[in-house]
Structure 1
Amino acid sequence: MYPYLRYTKSIVDAFITNKKAQPLAFDQVSEVTVRCSITDIDPMFEMNNGRVLTVYDIGRTDFIIRTGLAKQLLKNRWGMVVAGCTIQYRNRIRLFDKVTIKTQLVGIDERWLYLEHSMWVKGKPCSSVLLRTGVTKGGKVIETAKVLKALGEPNLVMSPEPWVQEWIASNKDHRWPPMAKD
């Protein structure tokens, strides 16, 4: 089940109650802390790999709210979509571990915002995910120039970092969708 209570709490914290939740510039890192709960674990008593991506939604939402993007999404009736991701796992997250989710923008191109999330327990990185995200209007991704203008940052240039550029290039070679054999 989706962690609606934690997700709602993160929205309230980002908007209202968390005194640390100061506005962020696009080049700053958002940090949110959650605890690995019984609904997050698999039979090995560690956070399920699929749940990791779901919990990253909490970090992304905090980043979107604190950078002012959420306000523009609502004002302009825009949506936000994840159009691709790649994830790496390094260390286990166990039941009741206190997890810090860090979120940062690692690149912008004409169409996409590239976000990196990472999860940390006791100062050790546990996982990292790179996301290709886009702002949508009427179900279609709009140009990032329009988004940046709405945010009051029309001149912001943040070319994707080299490792992100490699990922973008490799995705162009990805065969999609796989063809079924007759």
Structure 2
Amino acid sequence: MKKVLFATTALVATAGVAAADVTFGGYGRFGIKYDEDASSTDLTTRMRLQIDATAESDAGVVFGARARINADGDGTTNGAGADFNGVRYFARSGGFEVGVGNIFGALESMPGQYPIDLGLTGLGYDYTAFSGADAYTSTGDGALNGVEVLYSAGDLSVHVSASDMNDRVAGYVAYTWS
């Protein structure tokens, strides 16, 4: 009788909990890469699995998290295995969002900051104005001590971020004219 009562109590206690929406995405790639600095030609591979989970409260606030499992292989890592990255947690309501953990980073998310990366591996981000990204990273911990606030309304978007990764506070304001 005690077991039935406990199971019924547990069922009633969890009845009001919203079910989370969990999505999986990702890709895999492989090819041959020539590194001019090392004068070597090697195989390059990547497998990425992205996991996004969200749940909405009765008040309409969306809570969520994003994590990735990433496995890279090239001439130096030789497919060293897959790793989880640091997780980004967020809460969103209307056009307002607060993110913590492995943040996107305001500078890295700024419209027009990065041109389209061409080629198999994107060839890195050697053309950026700031080194040492605070941005969401698929390898290791990322900017685990980051916090960011994003707001958008119509054509206006604002993004402010702070991170212990590079001891940086950054922000941008963007508006699109039609």
TM-score w.r.t. length of structure 2: 0.27
Larger fraction in strand:
2
TM-score, normalization by structure 1: 0.27
Higher helix share: 1
Q: Which has the higher contact order (CA 8 A, sep 6+)?
A: 1
